[in-house]
Chains A and B, each alone.
Chain A
Amino acid sequence: MDFILQPWAWYVAGPVIAIVMFLLFYFGERFGVSSNLETFCAIGGAGKLTNYFKIDWKQNKWNLMFVAGAIAGGFISSTWLTTSDAVAINPQTIKDLADIGIANAGSSYLPDEIFSIDTMLTLKGFSTLLIAGLMVGFGARWAGGCTSGHAIVGLSNLEIPSLISVIGFFIGGLIMTWFILPLIF
């Protein structure tokens, strides 16, 4: 049981993610989380504004159930399977984050400077969360997939569009990490 309660190493997590992907294909579907965002739009009536969202969203019910499971899994894991909220990141990362204005890095899963309720209720904090989401949602649908669809499924399937997308993920990620984040806090 102690093994379960400790943080899981990469060589446990990677294979389990591969099993998740395998099971979704075995059950006749696929692995891609960001398509749910389009389903949300279709359910919300976006099909009235553009044909892009005139889809039969009921065909994507399985994926909504997958997302509901992911939420339940997050709850189960944080409630019963995790003893400490600390994340053992590299001490150098902690120093680097302190330098750009994020204190106590690694003491919990998320920085208060972005995710605390107090931050969320400020204009800057709310805008940061909203803009981050906008970029993820717009970018994922533009690229035709996110980390699951491109980085895991696409790369496994040796697809060039996925390789280019993952290169894009890295270009954007490096720009944000090295050049933009230091200016925000």
Chain B
Amino acid sequence: MKYIKFFLVGILFGIVMSKSEVISWYRIYEMFKFQSFHMYGIIGSAVAIGMVSMFLFRKKVVKTFEGNDIHVRPKKKGLYRNLLGGTLFGLGWVLAGACPGPMFVLVGKGVVSIIVVIFGATLGAFFYGLLKDKIPH
């Protein structure tokens, strides 16, 4: 039962990704063509409100529902990993027209071919695990 709340938050996520057309391949292409404010507005307003949340977490104004402090785990540092990994991700993001979240939402929409993309993404994560000590971070 303790997992049901994550399922419900996931439903909210799936609905908002779908209703705001973030799961549309065209919206991603349009963003990188600088022909619409839509995606910038979504990410920008999410980050702006996210900053307020982070502030409330840091100041311990908001705690978890169990009363624990909320620590946001810092991201791993490394210029190569962030820049090269990020660039590779960006190439795939536009070609697939979907980042990992929307890929799953598209499954719910009944898009069969997105399964190939998710399989590829899982394989990509697997190859990263195999090669991680041989590539720059």
Chain A: residues with CB nearer than 8 A to chain B?
4, 7-30, 33-34, 36-38, 40-41, 44, 46, 49-50, 52-53, 61-63, 65-78, 81-82, 87, 89-90, 92-93, 96-97, 105-106, 109-111, 114-117, 119-120, 126, 128-162, 164-178, 180-181
Please report the C-alpha to C-alpha distance between residue A145 and residue B92 in the assembled complex, in whole angstroms: 14
Chain A residues with CB under 8 Å of B96's CB are: 129, 132-133, 136
> Which of these, B105, B111, B125, contacts A115 with CB under 8 Å?
B111
- In the complex, are the beta carbons of A10 and B14 less than 8 A apart? no
Q: Mark B52-71, 1 if CB is under 8 A from A, else 0.
A: 01100100001011101010
- In the complex, are the beta carbons of A93 and B29 less than 8 A apart? yes
- In the complex, are the beta carbons of B85 and A142 less than 8 A apart? yes
Please report the C-alpha to C-alpha distance between residue A144 and residue B82 in the assembled complex, in whole angstroms: 7
Chain B: residues with CB nearer than 8 A to chain A?
3-33, 35-51, 53-54, 57, 62, 64-66, 68, 70, 72-79, 81-101, 103-114, 116-130, 132, 135, 137
Contact A78:B76 (CB < 8 A) given known A18-B46, A168-B83: no
- In the complex, are the beta carbons of B9 and A141 less than 8 A apart? no
> Which of these, B11, B22, B51, B125, contacts A38 with CB under 8 Å?
B125
- In the complex, are the beta carbons of A141 and B125 less than 8 A apart? yes
> Which of these, B6, B76, B86, B101, contacts A169 with CB under 8 Å?
B86
Please report the C-alpha to C-alpha distance between residue A156 and residue B59 in the assembled complex, in whole angstroms: 15
- In the complex, are the beta carbons of B125 and A78 less than 8 A apart? no
Determine which residue in A19, A22, A158, A173 has the highest number of CB atoms from chain B within 10 A of its CB, and name it: A173
Chain B residues with CB under 8 Å of A90's CB are: 30, 33, 35-36
Please report the C-alpha to C-alpha distance between residue A31 and residue B47 in the assembled complex, in whole angstroms: 13
Please report the C-alpha to C-alpha distance between residue A52 and residue B127 in the assembled complex, in whole angstroms: 11
CB distance from B62 to the nearest CB of A (A): 7
Contact A177:B94 (CB < 8 A) given known A37-B124, A140-B100: yes
- In the complex, are the beta carbons of A46 and B95 less than 8 A apart? no
- In the complex, are the beta carbons of A105 and B26 less than 8 A apart? yes
Chain B residues with CB under 8 Å of A128's CB are: 95
A-B CB contact pairs (8 Å), 15 listed:
A7-B21, A23-B5, A25-B53, A37-B124, A38-B125, A40-B125, A69-B6, A72-B11, A134-B124, A138-B88, A147-B99, A165-B75, A166-B86, A170-B32, A172-B93
Please report the C-alpha to C-alpha distance between residue A41 and residue B27 in the assembled complex, in whole angstroms: 30
- In the complex, are the beta carbons of A25 and B43 less than 8 A apart? no
Contact A87:B24 (CB < 8 A) given known A15-B46, A66-B9, A144-B85: yes
> Which of these, A25, A69, A111, A172, contacts B13 with CB under 8 Å?
A69
- In the complex, are the beta carbons of A71 and B107 less than 8 A apart? yes
- In the complex, are the beta carbons of B92 and A139 less than 8 A apart? yes
- In the complex, are the beta carbons of B91 and A172 less than 8 A apart? yes
> Which of these, A26, A68, A119, A137, contacts B124 with CB under 8 Å?
A137
